[in-house]
Amino acid sequence: MEAWKLVEIETPGGSRSPVVLRSDDEARAVLVGLEPGQALGDHQVKEHAWLVVVEGEVVLRAGGDEVRAPVGTLARFLPDERHSVHSDGGAKILLLLAPWPGPGHYRGQEKAQAPA
């Protein structure tokens, strides 16, 4: 078993410094801090993207839909679905991307964060 205490992991630099918790062929887990006013602008990924709000609140947009997402919210985006994530007051989100990498996604090399 591996376990991470998400609220205790620092995410300095906000969205510019995501923390890769685990990355293998099945999935990738990434913790992202959003400083107040920061956003993950309109984008898409090749994987199924699951998002969990760990701290704070975010606004999720996809297509014509907008959802206010407080702590504990789970959202899912389909592969290639354009979406954005914004936080007025700051937040921490967990992204789960599966499978990793998705068809058509370049696979880079990053170091993973050790479990607690």
**Mean pLDDT over the full length of the chain:** 88
Q: Over the stretch 25-59, which tens digit does the pLDDT of each residue have?
A: 889 999 999 999 999 888 888 889 999 999 999 99
User: Quick check: pTM over 0.85?
Assistant: no
Topology of domain 19-98, CATH: Jelly Rolls (2.60.120)
The full set of domain ranges for the chain reads 19-98
- The alpha carbon dihedral of 69, 84, 34, 102 has a sign of positive
CA distance 61 to 15: 17
Nearest to 86 by CA among 52, 39, 50: 39
User: How confident is the model at residue 108, as a pLDDT?
Assistant: 53
> To 10 degrees, the CA torsion angle through 43, 99, 29, 32?
0
* 95 burial via Cβ count (<10 Å: 0-12, 13-18, 19+): buried
| Tokens found for residue 76 | 């899912």
